[in-house]
Amino acid sequence: MAEQTKRGMGIFERYLTLWVLLCIGAGIILGKLAPNLATLLDGMAIYVNDAPVVSIPIAVCLFFMMYPIMVKIDFAEVLRAGRTPKPVLLTLFMNWAVKPFTMLGIAMLFVGYFFRDLLPGVDILKDGSQVPLYRSYISGMILLGIAPCTAMVLMWGYLSRGNQGLTLVMVAINSLTMLVLYGVLGKWLLGLNQMPVPWEALLLSISIYVALPLVAGYFSRRWIIQAKGREWFDTKFLHVLTPVAIIALLATLVLLFSFKGQTIIDNPLTILWIAIPLTLQTFLIFILTYVAAKIIKLPYEDAAPAAMIGASNHFEVAIATATMLFGLSSGAALATVVGVLIEVPVMLMLVKICLRSQYWFADRLRGMSVREALVHLLEEVEKLRGEVSTRCAQSGCAPVGPTERESSGPIKG
C-alpha cells in the first residue's frame, strides 16, 4: 500500500497535511510580523454598494487553484455515462441528497451543541455583521458538505484500484451540477444556520470560482489539444500547471492563518473541535455509499470511487466561497481549511478499507472453469445441507440427509 501510494501521489499530495501545518505556522508568524499585510490584501476588493464583495488577490489565487482541476476534465465522457447509470445515480444521490444534510446535522450537533462552550467569541464578517463564532465554523463545514470532490478524488480512485473512467465522469458531472445546486443548497443551509448570505455574493462566488475556471478549462483544453496534441497536453502543459495550483493554495492558506493566528494561539484546540465532526462525517458518508453500492450490486471497481467521491470534499471551492461570503478572517474560512488538514490521512484510511474489503464485492465464480464452478457450487450446497440438518436436529424436524435408497446400501442383484 505504501509503495503504491508513493508511485501514485506526488510530494505535495503525500504530505498535504504537513504543508497545511507549515502554512499555519507561517501564517501565525506573518500575522505577528506584518499584521496589516493580510488586511491590506483583503481590502483590495471589488465593491458593490460600498461593501467589499471580491478580494482581488484572493480571487486570483483561487482561480489558479481551480483552473488546473477544470482543465483536466474531459466532458465528452459525460455523454457515455448513460451506459452505466447506477453508479452515477448513486453518487449524485449521496452527494446532493444526503451529504449536505448529514454535514449540517453533525456540525450542529458537535460544534453547535457538544463543543459550543469550547468555541467562545464573536465573528465579525466582512459586511460588518456579527455572529457567534461557532455559527461561523458551522458555516464553513456546510460549505465543505455541499462541495463534492473533483480533484484529489482521482488519486483516491487510483489508489483504491477503482474504475477511473467512472471517476472522471463523476468529476465532470459534479462540476456541472455544482453550477445549479451549490448556490441553492448553500443559501438554504446557511440560512438554517442563521448566517447572512446575500444572493448576489453567492451567485458571484459560483460564477468566479466554478463557472469561470470551468469555461476557461473547457475551451483552453480543446484549443491546446488541437494545437499541440494530447501527449503534449498531458506531459508538458499539466506538468507546468500543477506547481502553480499548489503555490496558489499555499499562499491562500498562509494569508488565512495570518488572520486567524491569534485565535489559534488563544484556543489551540479549535482545530481539533472542528476536525472531529468533519472526520465523522467523512466516515459516515463513505460507509453509507459503500453499503448502498453493495445493496444495488455494483462491482467493487465502481463501488470504491463512488464512496470516495462522496467522502471527500472540494476544499478549494469551499475555501473560495467562505472567503468571498464571510471574509479571509472569518471562522468559516478557517473551518474549510481544517477540511484540507484532515483530507489526506482520513482518505488514505478509507483507501485501505476499500482494498481490504474487495472480497465483499467479489464474484467467486469469476475466472473459474465450468468444472471448478460446479465443484464450488456442490461444496456450497453440501455446506448448506449440513447447516439445515443441524438446525432441523435442534428443532426436532425430519433431518435432511441421504435418501432411503442411499442409506440401505448398494442394491444387490
Q: How far is the CA of 201 from the CAs of 55, 324, 332, in angstroms?
A: 12, 7, 15
- What is the distance of C-alpha 143 from the center of its chain? 12
In one-letter notation, the amino acid at residue 207 is S
Nearest to 335 by CA among 155, 106, 64: 106
- pLDDT for the residue numbered 109: 96
b/e burial code for range 38-75 (CB count within 10 A of at least 16 → b): beebbeebeeeeeebbbbebbbebbbbbbbbbbbbbeb
Q: What is the pLDDT of residue 376?
A: 59
User: How many helical (H) and strand (E) elements, i.e. helices and strands, does the chain have?
Assistant: 21, 4
Cβ atoms of residues 331 and 133 within 8 Å:
yes
Mean pLDDT by 10 residues, the chain (413 residues): 46 71 83 74 66 69 77 70 76 93 96 91 79 93 86 75 78 80 88 79 74 87 90 84 77 75 75 94 94 90 88 82 80 86 84 87 61 62 66 57 45 41
Q: For residue 139, give the nearest of 330, 402, 410, 388 by alpha carbon.
A: 330
For residue 42, what is the enclosing H or E element?
A: helix 37-43
Residues 6+ apart with CB under 8 A from 107: 137, 138, 141, 142, 145, 277, 281
pLDDT of residue 285: 94
State the pLDDT at residue 7: 45
Distance in angstroms (rounded) separating the CA atoms of residues 251 and 351: 29
What is the model's pLDDT at position 114? 94
Of 333, 337, 314, the closest CA to residue 177 belongs to 314
Q: Coil, helix or strand for 412?
A: coil
pLDDT computed for residue 111 by the predictor: 95
- Please report where in the chains the cell 505556522 appears, as a residue: 25
Which of 116, 121, 54 is closest to 262 using CA atoms?
A: 121
Specify whether the backbone of 65 is left (phi greater than 0), alpha (psi in -120 to 50) or beta.
alpha
Q: What is the predicted pLDDT for the residue at 280? A: 95
- Given its phi and psi angles, is residue 121 left (phi above 0), alpha (psi -120 to 50 degrees) or beta? left
